[in-house]
Amino acid sequence: MAAAVLSAATVALLPPLLLGIGTLWFITPPLGLFAAAAILLRKNALLMVATILVVLAVSIAGVLHPMRLSPSQERKLTATGYFLKGQTFFLRGDYSQALTSYTESEKAGFRHPWVAFQRAYCYNFLGRSQNAYEIFARLMRDTLLGSLETVHINYALSALKSGNYKQGEQAFWQALNYNLQPGYCYYQLGIYYRLRNDQIKAEEMMRKAHRLCYERSETSSILGSIAESRMDYVRAEEFYRRALRENPENIAVHVKLGSLLFRRGRLSDAKQVLLEGVRISEWIPINFRVYAMLLNNLGFVYAEEGQLAKAIPAFKQAIRVDPTFMDSYDNLAYLYIENKRFSDAVIVLRRALEVDPGYSPARRVLDQLLAVPEAGQPQ
């Protein structure tokens, strides 16, 4: 929040300070207050409007107050324009274009720690964690920004994501000592310890995050996965069902719970959970990979029940939803093979290899099928 308010202040104050046009002091500060109000109300659309109005104000002021700009002022004007352009792209969620604009602003001479912060933030969103980490590491030593909560938290996150695990772990623990977003810190440490296969610490961190009401459904889901890895299936089911009570729209939990119940031989319960996930997915924004996994698991259940007429469409729909989820091709092909529909299996496997020519499981089964004369013939 502090970082966002500082961003609004930067947008409001930079134009009159850099350009020396007195009229702007009566225009951009009120727009800065408007932007701050939009931040507090969590209205990104209003924040973008405020930024655009600042750009228009600078343009109009330049027309109403024509002046001969010195080379230094021209560079400052160019730099300010790139920065405001970057802010607009950032608010639209176009982090690639925002990063380009911020970089151009620095090249034009606007070398301020806040521009570096915005660049690092974009790097984080774009998955370029090492670039983000290097910038945040420098900003941590900056007297203006180093003490800000958002700088500290993003430094810790970029450190973990870039493979600087020791620095990231220490930074999150230091953030906890400062009481900076403790729920978030516990959650990220839980993810980190789980990846390091320290399930005891991971469970402890997730329990603390859950107690602080941070992403309660997701933390319950992860606790369920930890319990399942210990083969404590009763406890795992309890966590998964708690996760669904906390957020019925968490489709990934429908996938996990349905899979667990299927492996425990509870086909009816598994089908009920998976069908509920399918029903909910029809009216919420979905992650296509997770939805494909849901349909794939539902196809498994139908196949186990002998309902071929329902299993095949489920697998086919999973392929349509996410053509890169290769498990659905495998399962549909094996279902065809079990029912001696060899030519259909060949079609499915060839389609899989069109998507991923290097997918060896499909290549191996396809070669075996083509060695059988009747495999290539229609049934």
pLDDT of 92: 76
135 contacts 162 by C-beta, under 8 angstroms: no
Q: Which parts of the chain sit beneath pLDDT 50? A: 3, 378-379
> How crowded is residue 163: how many other Cβ atoms within 10 Å of its Cβ?
11
Q: d(Cα 323, Cα 350) in Å, to the nearest integer?
A: 13
> How crowded is residue 372: how many other Cβ atoms within 10 Å of its Cβ?
11
Q: d(Cα 105, Cα 369) in Å, to the nearest integer?
A: 60
270 contacts 262 by C-beta, under 8 angstroms: yes
Which residue is listed with tokens 């228009």? 56
pLDDT of 32: 62
pLDDT of 109: 83
Amino acid letter, 168:
G
Which residue is listed with tokens 């498990």? 327
pLDDT of 378: 47
What are the structure tokens assigned to 238, written together?
A: 């309890």
Three-state SS letters, the chain: CHHHHHHHHHHHHHHHHHHCCHHHHHCHHHHHHHHHHHHHCCCHHHHHHHHHHHHHHHHHHHHHCCCCCCHHHHHHHHHHHHHHHHHHHHHHCCHHHHHHHHHHHHHCCCCCHHHHHHHHHHHHHCCCHHHHHHHHHHHCCCCCCCCCHHHHHHHHHHHHHCCCHHHHHHHHHHHHHCCCCHHHHHHHHHHHHHHCCCHHHHHHHHHHHHHCCCCHHHHHHHHHHHHHHCCCHHHHHHHHHHHHHHCCCCHHHHHHHHHHHHHCCCHHHHHHHHHHHHHHHCCCCCCHHHHHHHHHHHHHHHHHCCCHHHHHHHHHHHHHHCCCCHHHHHHHHHHHHHCCCHHHHHHHHHHHHHHCCCCHHHHHHHHHHHCCHHHHCCC
Which residue in 190, 185, 113 sits closest to 149, CA to CA?
Answer: 185
86 contacts 101 by C-beta, under 8 angstroms: yes
What are the structure tokens assigned to 294, written together?
A: 């849901």
Q: d(Cα 98, Cα 133) in Å, to the nearest integer?
A: 18
> How crowded is residue 33: how many other Cβ atoms within 10 Å of its Cβ?
14
Q: d(Cα 35, Cα 41) in Å, to the nearest integer?
A: 10
Which residue is listed with tokens 């977003």? 181
pTM, 2 dp? 0.75
Residue burial 193-217, b: 16+ Cβ < 10 Å; e: rest: bbeeeeeeebbebbebbbebebbbb
pLDDT of 295: 96
* Cβ within 8 Å of residue 95, ≥6 positions away: 89, 122, 125, 126
pLDDT of 49: 66
pLDDT of 222: 97
